[in-house]
Amino acid sequence: MRRWPAIVVAGICLGTLLAGAAMAPEHLSQPVMDLAYASPSELAPFGADNRGRPLLEYATQGARVVAMPAITAGLLVMLLGIFGGLLRCMASAQANTWIQGLSEVLGALPRMVVILVVALVLPPESRGLMPMAVAWALLSAPGAMDEASAVAGRLGGARFVEALRAHGYTAARIFGYHVVLLNLRPVVVRQGAEVMMQVVFLEIALSYLALAEDQPSFTHPDSLKSWADLLNIGYPSLVLEGVPTQHALWLGLVLVGLIAVMALSVGRAARAR
Partner 1 sequence: MKQWWLRPGVRVVAALLLPFAVPAIITALIWALPGDPASIICPPENCGGTEILAKRWGLDQGPVAFFVGWVQDALQGDFRNSWRLQMGVPVAELLWEAVPKTAMLLAVALVPVGIGAVSGSTGVLPRVLDPLLYVVGLVPAVVLGLIAAAMVELSYGVASFEAEGELARLLAGAAVLGLADGAFSGAVTGTRGLVRAEATQRYVGVAVLRGEATLSNMLPNVALALAGQLRARAIHLLSGAVVVEVILRINGLGDLLWGGTLLQDFGVVLAAATGFAVLSSALLLAQALVEVMVALHIRRSPSLGASA
Phi, psi angles (nearest 5°) of residue 140: -85, -25
CA distance 169 to 113: 47
Closest contact distance (angstroms) between CB of 83 and partner 1 is 22
- Name 181's Cβ contacts closer than 8 Å, sequence gap at least 6: none
Rule CB under 8 A: say whether 221 interacts with partner 1. Answer: no
Pick between residue 20 and residue 267 the one whose CB is nearest to partner 1: 267
Using CB atoms within 10 A of its CB, is residue 270 exposed (0-12), middle (13-18) or buried (19+)?
Answer: buried
Q: Which stretch binds partner 1 (CB under 8 A): 2-10, 85-93, 110-118, 163-171?
A: 110-118
SS3 48: strand
Phi, psi angles (nearest 5°) of residue 48: -135, 165
Cα–Cα distance list, 53 to 48, 156, 214, 222, 233 (Å): 5, 59, 20, 16, 12
Rule CB under 8 A: say whether 123 interacts with partner 1. Answer: yes
Rule CB under 8 A: say whether 107 interacts with partner 1. Answer: yes
Rule CB under 8 A: say whether 228 interacts with partner 1. Answer: yes
- Among 147, 268, 144, 131, smallest CA distance to 195 is for 144
Out of 77, 210, 230, 258, the residue judged to bind partner 1 by CB under 8 A: 210
CA distance 127 to 222: 12
Out of 33, 93, 120, 172, the residue judged to bind partner 1 by CB under 8 A: 120
Closest contact distance (angstroms) between CB of 193 and partner 1 is 12
Pick between residue 139 and residue 164 the one whose CB is nearest to partner 1: 139
Rule CB under 8 A: say whether 166 interacts with partner 1. Answer: no
Closest contact distance (angstroms) between CB of 196 and partner 1 is 13
User: Do residues 109 and 195 touch, judged by C-beta distance below 8 A?
Assistant: no
- Among 184, 198, 217, smallest CA distance to 79 is for 184
Closest contact distance (angstroms) between CB of 119 and partner 1 is 6
Q: Which stretch binds partner 1 (CB under 8 A): 83-91, 100-108, 161-169, 174-182?
A: 100-108
Phi, psi angles (nearest 5°) of residue 54: -65, 135
Out of 111, 127, 173, 271, the residue judged to bind partner 1 by CB under 8 A: 111
Question: Residues 240 to 259: which contact partner 1 by CB under 8 A?
Answer: 253, 256
Rule CB under 8 A: say whether 238 interacts with partner 1. Answer: yes
* Interacting residue ranges for partner 1, rule: CB under 8 A: 104-105, 107-113, 116-117, 119-121, 123-124, 197, 201, 204-205, 208-210, 212-213, 215, 218, 228, 231, 235, 238-239, 253, 256, 260, 263-264
